Chains A and B, each alone.
Chain A
């Protein structure tokens, strides 16, 4: 099973600032990596797939990069609605399809 490790666990950022979230895979997942956003009491929402492709309707301030074992999600200028928990997920080797443990982006 591929283990996904996200860092940091919590990221404190002021509105308007840049946020950089990391995700590391225990073995290469190529570019088969997705990012999801989850707000309290809501289901996750797909943000990025293929490591860098934004899903339909996702604002351009969200960008993804990386391949192999190291990935990054960048939010260029945090808006109030962006404070949430972010999960990475690999779909290169399955079963199982595995998620990271999440990074909480909170208001500084």
Chain B
């Protein structure tokens, strides 16, 4: 059973960079066939896809966030990471990591981590 777990600071100051890591267990990122994703959910709101990465390092980002987002992968640790720069209060959200299957749907999700942007 694949499991994903987000980790990182729960509080980030405005203008700084939000950094989160997702650790995958029960399956290898390097095995291929899946894209490793970040999705966020603003408080009480819907879901917003941020971007995803393949084990080879190929990335795809939401155009609305592309200028501020970097997703990277560390296959040796079976982890992938999110960096979101120049954050504002509008970036306060629950951030999920998830596995994107080739079919185009997210089949495994982490539990989510709340990141608050505040001074």
Contacts and interface: CB of A to CB of B under 8 A. Distances in A.
B47 A49 contact: no
Contacts of B98: 43
A34 B104 contact: yes
Interface residues of B, number: 21
Nearest to B109: A43
A96 interface: yes
Contact of B48 (A32, A50, A99): A99
A49 B104 contact: yes
Contacts of B48: 99
Contacts of A97: 49, 104
> Which size bracket describes the interface of A in this complex?
20 to 34
Contacts of A89: 47, 105
Most-contacted residue by chain A among B48, B49, B64 (CB, 10 A): B49
B46 interface: yes
Contacts of A45: 109
Nearest to B107: A46
Nearest to B45: A101
Interface string B90-111: 0000001010000111110111
A96 B64 contact: yes
Interface of A: 1, 32, 34, 36, 42-46, 49-50, 55, 87, 89, 91, 94-102
